[in-house]
Structure 1
Amino acid sequence: MTSLKTLTFKTIERNRRESEIIARRHKLIVKLEEQQKVLEHHVKGEHYVVTGPKWMQNTHGERVLVQKQRVIRPWFFKRDGGYYLQVKYGTRILSVDGIHNSIFVEAISDLSGVLSELIKATEAGELDAAIAKTLKPKPKYKPGAAKSADIHQLKR
């Protein structure tokens, strides 16, 4: 007991979870950096392949952990004599400026600069509003459409 008296004890609560806004920024930055790698491979004429773990059943019916490859799809495409870049958050497309859903560049070499600018803007928090707008849940019913409960009340 005498050895414990030499120590200093304090009670503290530790907050390990980062805020949602920072987590969203980090998620988008990781995907933008991944798109930079996709662009590098696209210029070389290759597909960007990521290897990750996946649980599968072998011939004996046992679950085993295997390494599976998957191709990352590019967010950019060629049209109208240039390249369009659509920034995605999950499966939804962000409207970065609040109005348009894509960024147009004349040459594919300009896309790397656009991606690095988007990373800087995300780190600065300029895309927080666009991410929040994208994450807003869609309405269950179309505006002006009657809900099924209202229809059943009319039949009675």
Structure 2
Amino acid sequence: MIRLYEPRIDEAELVRLIRTELIPLSHTVHQHDAQTIRELPKRFRRGVTYVASLSKKSAPVAFIHFEVMGEVLYLDMMVTHPEHRNRQWGRKLIAHSEAYGQAQQCKVARLFVDQVNAKAHHLYNKLGYNTVRYLPELRCYELLKPLTPLSLPNV
């Protein structure tokens, strides 16, 4: 099921997933960067976070965090637990995020993917995201996808 993030239930697991799955791919953040880890709860409050879980109260198996900035849906972070990959969680989370953006009149979805994360880059391309540039100083790609007027996600 896809549900809204509940800090009391979800925060510890999301931080763990970020530390073990996202940060090791990043060129700009280190796994033991205490300030980055401390700022995560504030970052979650700034936007919207959806989690995928097996039941209403179970720990997340995947999540996506995003923000609406004007007419842009900015997809900030997405992680699926390694034991739950290849079960369409990423695709479903992106569809829900895009539907949210469409409801907010966003015209485009924007994200960055680390150069070493070829699997994520491939997924985003399959979902209609186009690579617009490479940022060598960050070692990541910027991807964009036009958002059509509001329609319900196929999940």
TM range (shorter): under 0.3
Instruction: Give the number of the structure whose residues are more often strand, by fraction.
Output: 2
Q: What TM-score, normalized by structure 1, do the two folds share?
A: 0.26
Q: What TM-score, normalized by structure 2, do the two folds share?
A: 0.26
Q: State which structure, 1 or 2, has the greater radius of gyration over its C-alpha atoms.
A: 1
